[in-house]
């Protein structure tokens, strides 16, 4: 079980099925100390509501709420759908390749798109689920770029749990992260309450690869908070 989970979706994403408070209350019941709610950016027709970003202030005692957004590629040159007027309220910016991006373009195209996005958008903190079967990427090229930018690569429990990735492919991603010495974040990618905080499908893979604990940014609440705060200026200073 994760003590800090930095990727979850509410029904505002159109793919989640719970409210913000339902997720936060479940996090408290599970003993999770910090939760990032990271609904999708506008290109997936998500609802972006100002009250969540500028009014909701840690409503569940004992659970630190991080406000985030899982953005999408707007084009293959690396533009993302981050609304700059909301950036000042965000603790975290995640980026993943989602169905708004054309399929079947090949590994090199998707790898370059993510590398371009990291280079063009210093607000990005985490690259989500790069082990997607639909949009294959070169793990080592991506991880090396992420390392240089201080961006974390996500090890996504739901991908393996739901059969959207394989243990073999996830192991290759973990191995690339270890080889390049980039940071990782272990997340649930929750869409339903039963997924919250879960890491049992990827934790054994990390252990089998002897992945260094000091490269896991959400290994404990204090480390996660320090890492998030070290990158917050990249969002506050957007023009």
- Token pair of 155, please? 């090890």
Using CA atoms, how far apart are residues 163 and 18, in angstroms rounded to an integer?
22
The domain 4-236 having CATH identifier 3.20.20.140: the answer here is: yes
What pLDDT tens digit does each residue of the chain (239 aa) get?
999 999 999 999 989 999 999 999 999 999 999 999 999 999 998 888 888 988 899 999 999 999 999 999 999 999 999 998 888 899 999 999 999 999 999 999 999 999 999 999 999 999 999 998 899 999 999 999 999 999 999 999 999 999 999 999 999 999 999 999 999 999 999 999 999 999 999 999 999 999 999 999 999 999 999 999 999 999 988 76
Task: Delimit the domains of the chain by residue range.
Answer: 4-236
User: Beta-carbon neighbour count of residue 68 at 10 Å?
Assistant: 23
Using CA atoms, how far apart are residues 95 and 118, in angstroms rounded to an integer?
9
Q: DSSP label at 41?
A: P
Using CA atoms, how far apart are residues 219 and 186, in angstroms rounded to an integer?
8
| pLDDT at 191 (0 to 100) | 97
Distances (CA, A) of 237 to 62, 67, 207, 229, 232: 30, 17, 38, 14, 9
Distances (CA, A) of 96 to 7, 25, 57, 128, 132: 11, 27, 26, 5, 10
Q: Which residue has the tokens 């002897």?
A: 210
pTM for the full predicted model: 0.97
| pLDDT at 132 (0 to 100) | 87
| pLDDT at 91 (0 to 100) | 97
| pLDDT at 140 (0 to 100) | 98
| pLDDT at 147 (0 to 100) | 98
| pLDDT at 239 (0 to 100) | 66
Alpha helix ranges (H) inside 121-232? 139-149, 157-161, 167-180, 203-208, 221-231
In contact, 7 and 154? CB cutoff 8 Å? yes
């Amino acid at each position: 079980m994760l003590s800090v989970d930095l990727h979850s979706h509410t029904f505002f994403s159109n793919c989640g099925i719970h409210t913000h408070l339902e997720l936060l209350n479940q996090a408290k019941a599970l003993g999770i100390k910090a939760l990032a709610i990271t609904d999708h950016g506008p290109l997936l027709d998500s609802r972006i509501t100002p009250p969540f970003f500028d009014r909701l202030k840690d409503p569940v005692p004992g659970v630190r709420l991080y406000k985030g957004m899982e953005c999408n590629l707007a084009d293959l040159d690396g533009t993302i759908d981050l609304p700059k007027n909301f950036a000042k309220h965000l603790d975290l910016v995640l980026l993943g390749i989602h169905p708004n991006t054309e399929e079947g373009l090949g590994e090199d195209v998707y790898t370059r798109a993510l590398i371009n996005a990291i280079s063009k958008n210093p607000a990005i903190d985490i690259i989500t689920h790069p082990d997607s079967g639909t949009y294959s990427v070169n793990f080592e090229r991506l991880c090396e770029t992420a390392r240089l930018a201080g961006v974390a690569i996500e090890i996504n429990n739901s991908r393996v749990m739901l059969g959207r990735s394989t243990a073999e492919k996830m192991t290759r991603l973990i191995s690339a992260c270890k080889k390049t010495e980039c940071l990782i974040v272990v997340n649930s990618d929750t869409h339903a309450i039963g997924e919250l905080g879960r890491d049992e499908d990827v934790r054994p893979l990390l252990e089998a690869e002897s992945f260094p604990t000091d490269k896991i940014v959400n290994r404990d609440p204090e480390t996660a908070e320090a890492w998030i705060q070290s990158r917050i200026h990249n969002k506050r200073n957007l023009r």
